[in-house]
């Protein structure tokens, strides 16, 4: 037998020399370095630790995870023996890769992230394959952010042109908070952009986060009421508080309303006062009502009257009306009511001027007793119209707006927009008749 083996060995050697026969065995790979062995050990330890963590989270492992844990533990123990080959290390990593794939679906979404891969050595070791693309994405994002900041430093964003949708969008995207506020108002009001509160509110929030205090009031109110975004009362109150601390009157006013609605009127009074002090008339009115009626506070009609007067001085008709009611007087007409009364007066005055023109023309053309009788009937009808239509309209307007406003408006009316009637030579402006109507007295 030994002779046969010797012959085979000799023939094999000859075959190698002569270039024929069996091929040479591949060279034996060098043994793994201590660093490679330690790296595999560390990864195995990290995976075992992940199983322990997951077991603590879930209470117990599934059957498949328990099997994976056992395999990792066994391969980790084998790495302690001497004489490991490169193939042993490779096989260990293959098992660890399979284990990582098994673990990933069971860990929470915020457990393995670009941040944890960077800051938690255990995560980085256990989830090498998962962390690698996350780290790459994080590096790419960091590079992009650096490029963006470099570009902003070289070309800083600036306040956009008012109501310029393209410019405000561009400057807001580049980080200019004031431009975000302008853009938000455009979407809120529909001036310069299609009205869309779902776009306006996030922009108000962005502007507030960027330091525009005035935007915090709008953002806080929207969040509190769920206007354009999902309702978030906690965050809404935070933004309203931020606005009020920055002396934004609207923010104080809205925060005060929330205090009243949540049963804390005593906390609302100071907020309403701050809004009033910063010339927000509605704050003066609401606080005045609380004091006048004793809503959550002690009655104080004198102070209420002062607050209503303050609102009236700020050109808020509701303040003037509230003051009149408190003093037992008839409240003044609102601007809308004044305009309606003016419209009624102008309509009656134009009709009366036209009747004067017709009567004057009829007087010039009257012939005989019959003609004179027709003129008398026209004048009677005109006097009746003046008494029943024009004069009541004039009195209502003067009572609401005052004699000075009556003179100012009537002079402008007769000069710029007199009534027109058809004359012998075409349309004729009745400027003189207009002036005569408004100058005429009423019984």
- 86 shares a domain with 126: yes
Residue ending a domain, choose from 212, 246, 280: 246
**Predicted local distance difference test score (pLDDT) of residue 389:** 87
Give backbone dihedrals phi and psi of 426, rounded to 5 degrees, phi first: 105, -170
For the chain, percent of residues with pLDDT exceeding 70: 91
- 67 shares a domain with 53: yes
Residue 102 reports pLDDT greater than 90: no
Q: Is residue 214 part of a domain?
A: yes
Q: Is residue 123 part of a domain?
A: yes
- 233 shares a domain with 174: yes
Confidence of residue 10 (pLDDT cuts 50, 70, 90): very low
Average pLDDT over residues 416-439: 80
**Predicted local distance difference test score (pLDDT) of residue 27:** 64
CA-CA distance, 45 to 52, in Å (whole number)? 11
Residues 31-63 have pLDDT tens digits of 888 888 888 889 889 898 988 888 888 888 888
Confidence of residue 425 (pLDDT cuts 50, 70, 90): low
**Predicted local distance difference test score (pLDDT) of residue 24:** 57
Residue 15 reports pLDDT greater than 60: no
Strands 420-423 and 426-429, bridge-based pairing: antiparallel
CB count, 10 Å around CB of 247? 14
Residues 339-359 have pLDDT tens digits of 998 999 899 889 888 888 888
Residue 232 reports pLDDT greater than 90: yes
- 125 shares a domain with 48: yes
**Predicted local distance difference test score (pLDDT) of residue 330:** 77
- 429 shares a domain with 339: yes
Q: Which two tokens stand for residue 152?
A: 């902003």
**Predicted local distance difference test score (pLDDT) of residue 145:** 75
**Predicted local distance difference test score (pLDDT) of residue 424:** 58
- 172 shares a domain with 126: no
Confidence of residue 9 (pLDDT cuts 50, 70, 90): very low
Average pLDDT over residues 199-224: 95
Q: Across-strand partners of 427?
A: 422
- 342 shares a domain with 435: yes
- 294 shares a domain with 272: yes
CA-CA distance, 5 to 21, in Å (whole number)? 16
Structural domains counted in the chain = 4
Q: Is residue 371 part of a domain?
A: yes
- 345 shares a domain with 310: no
- 167 shares a domain with 238: yes
Domain assignment of residue 413, given as a range: 335-439
């Amino acid at each position: 037998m030994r002779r046969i083996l010797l012959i085979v060995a000799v023939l094999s050697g000859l075959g190698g020399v002569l270039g024929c026969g069996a091929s040479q065995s591949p060279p034996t790979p060098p043994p793994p370095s201590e660093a490679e062995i330690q790296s595999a050990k560390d990864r195995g330890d990290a995976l075992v630790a992940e199983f322990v963590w997951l077991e603590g989270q879930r209470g117990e492992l599934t059957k498949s995870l328990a099997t994976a844990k056992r395999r990792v533990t066994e391969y980790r123990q084998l790495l302690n023996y001497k004489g490991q080959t490169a193939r042993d290390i490779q096989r260990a990593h293959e098992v660890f890769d399979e284990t990582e794939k098994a673990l990933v679906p069971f860990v929470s979404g915020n457990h393995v992230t670009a941040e944890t891969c960077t800051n938690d050595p255990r995560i980085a070791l256990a989830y090498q394959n998962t962390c690698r693309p996350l780290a790459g994405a994080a590096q790419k994002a960091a590079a992009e952010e650096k490029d963006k900041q470099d570009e902003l430093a070289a070309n800083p964003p600036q306040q956009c042109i008012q109501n310029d949708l393209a410019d405000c969008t561009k400057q807001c995207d580049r980080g200019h908070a004031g431009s975000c506020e302008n853009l938000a108002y455009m979407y809120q009001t529909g001036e310069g952009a299609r009205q869309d509160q779902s776009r306006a509110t996030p922009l108000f929030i962005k502007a507030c986060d960027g330091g525009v205090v005035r935007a915090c009031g709008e953002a806080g109110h929207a969040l509190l009421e769920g206007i354009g975004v999902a309702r978030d009362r906690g965050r809404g109150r935070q933004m309203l508080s931020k606005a009020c601390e920055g002396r934004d009157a609207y923010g104080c006013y809205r925060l005060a309303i929330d205090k009243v609605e949540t049963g804390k009127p005593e906390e609302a009074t100071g907020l309403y006062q701050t809004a009033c002090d910063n010339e927000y008339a509605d704050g003066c009115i609401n606080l005045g009502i609380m004091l006048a009626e004793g809503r959550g506070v002690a009655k104080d009609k004198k102070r209420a009257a002062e607050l209503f007067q303050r609102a009236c001085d700020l050109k808020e008709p509701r303040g003037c009306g509230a003051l009149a009611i408190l003093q037992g007087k008839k409240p003044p007409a609102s601007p809308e009511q004044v305009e309606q009364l003016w419209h009624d007066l102008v309509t009656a005055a134009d009709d009366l001027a036209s009747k004067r023109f017709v009567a004057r023309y009829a007087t010039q053309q009257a012939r005989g007793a019959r003609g004179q009788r027709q003129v008398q009937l026209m004048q009677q009808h005109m006097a009746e119209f003046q008494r029943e239509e024009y004069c009541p309209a004039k009195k209502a307007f003067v009572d609401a707006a005052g004699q000075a406003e009556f003179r100012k408006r009537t002079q402008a009316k007769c000069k710029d927009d007199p009534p027109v009637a058809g004359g012998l030579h075409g349309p004729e402006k009745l400027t003189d008749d207009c002036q005569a109507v408004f100058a005429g007295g009423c019984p």
